[in-house]
Amino acid sequence: MFQQSVAAPARHQNCSECPIRHRAVCARCDGDELDRLEEMKYYRSFQAGQTVVWSGDRMDFVGSVVSGIATLTQGMEDGRTQMVGLLLPSDFVGRPGRQGAAYDVVATTDLVMCCFRKKPFEEMMERTPHVAQRLLQMTLDELDAAREWMLVLGRKTAREKIASLLAIIGRRSSDLGVMPKPGGLVFDLPLTREAMADYLGLTLETVSRQISALKKDGVIILEGKRHVTVPDFARLIAESGDDGTVGAGAAWSRRGATTS
């Protein structure tokens, strides 16, 4: 079930000021359509570590991540779990037409979500084709991103995996308005090194060693454990093993992903 949470900050209540407005499922909505969405939406905030929804639970909402990051986790019968995806700002949670959640959704950082009551949203999709078209586009971009991630996990070296993840998060941060300082892209890494290790299929020691190596080689500048500056984004792309066209998070940059 949808977990108890505290009310979202008031600054997220106005659609015209929404930081994900141009990337979310409502990106193509006009004034009247935004008014209809206003009638069915509500905001929720979650603390880091809090579960948004458990796999198999009934979902009576769909929605978009406004700020923060969440993980998708798949459990196995013997109790083991695997992180299978990340939800970044503008990514979509839930699937119209499906009652239950396919994955555990857990807030990795403090998280704000813009939620829509599912039944009214499904009815609006039937009456408003471009909302359905936008959701389809986001779903296809998610599929492209999943295929890219298969390459990251299956064929790349540890250094390339770390560089790929940094490129994905850096590119998405830039797309969402995190402007680079002169000479570099600057963003806060939303994952702990333990979470990065889990997601990338690496050990914690390997993640720490590779981040230190990227820092030593000048690919990144690290302040503390989370504040990252990338002086030359093209160099980071090269370190990821991609050519900067189909890889290096290109699909992740386009997507506002969906999940169920």
> Is the same domain home to 26 and 102?
yes
pLDDT of residue 204: 95
pLDDT of residue 248: 42
pLDDT of 11 > 60? The answer is no
pLDDT of residue 253: 54
> Is the same domain home to 125 and 42?
yes
Instruction: Summarize the confidence of residues 225-234 as an average pLDDT.
Output: 90
pLDDT of residue 151: 75
Instruction: Summarize the confidence of residues 141-157 as an average pLDDT.
Output: 79
User: H or E element: which one contains 198?
Assistant: helix 193-200
Of the candidates 101, 96, 116, 119, the one whose C-alpha atom is nearest the C-alpha of residue 43 is 116
What's the total number of domains in the chain?
2
Confidence of residue 255 (pLDDT cuts 50, 70, 90): low
Q: Is residue 252 part of a domain?
A: no
pLDDT digits (tens, 9 = 90+) for 169-201: 888 776 655 444 555 788 888 888 988 898 888
Neighbours of 158 (CB within 10 A): 16
> Is the same domain home to 176 and 76?
no
Confidence of residue 246 (pLDDT cuts 50, 70, 90): very low
> Is the same domain home to 73 and 114?
yes
Q: What is the C-alpha to C-alpha distance for residues 187 and 202, in angstroms, rounded to an integer?
A: 23
Q: What is the pTM of this model?
A: 0.76
Residues in Cβ contact with 54 at an 8 Å cutoff, skipping those fewer than 6 apart: 1, 101, 104
pLDDT of 61 > 70? The answer is yes
- Both tokens of 45, joined, read 């905030």
Range in 13-22, 85-94, 137-146, 215-224 with the lowest mean pLDDT: 13-22
Confidence of residue 86 (pLDDT cuts 50, 70, 90): confident
Q: Which of 138, 170, 186 marks a domain boundary?
A: 138
Q: Which CATH number does the domain housing residue 169 bear?
A: 1.10.10.10
Of the candidates 138, 131, 89, 97, the one whose C-alpha atom is nearest the C-alpha of residue 114 is 89
Residue 189 sits at the vertex; the CA angle it makes with 6 and 10, to the nearest 5 degrees, is 30
pLDDT of 38 > 50? The answer is yes
